[in-house]
Amino acid sequence: MTAEQAAMRQALRQNLQRELLHELQLAHRMIFNALAVMTPEQKSEWAARNILSGNDSEGTTRAHEREAVIARAMEAQRV
């Protein structure tokens, strides 16, 4: 691989990382928006479905996990 090819590959990787981070940030905000308009019953149903599908964790929305990944990705972009 030439230096130019390596630089192009690195640029493509960085662009993809920025796009993925942006999409994760949008999804994070959309989940909070959805929660804001849900009734308590709807939130309970959502939690039950997450448990049944094996997607449960500390919280129904995995907000803490998303926030941690977003923070790590933002820090990695600064380096």
Q: What is the pLDDT of residues 54-67, one digit of tens each?
A: 887 777 788 999 99
**φ, ψ (nearest 5 deg) of residue 4:** -65, -40
Mean pLDDT (whole number) for 18-46 = 96
What's the pLDDT at 18?
94
**pTM of this structure:** 0.79
Question: What is the residue-averaged pLDDT of the chain?
Answer: 91
Q: Which range of residues forms the domain containing residue 56?
A: 3-78
Higher-confidence residue: 57 or 21?
Answer: 21
Tell me the C-alpha distance between 49 and 56, whole Å: 9
The number of domains in the chain is 1
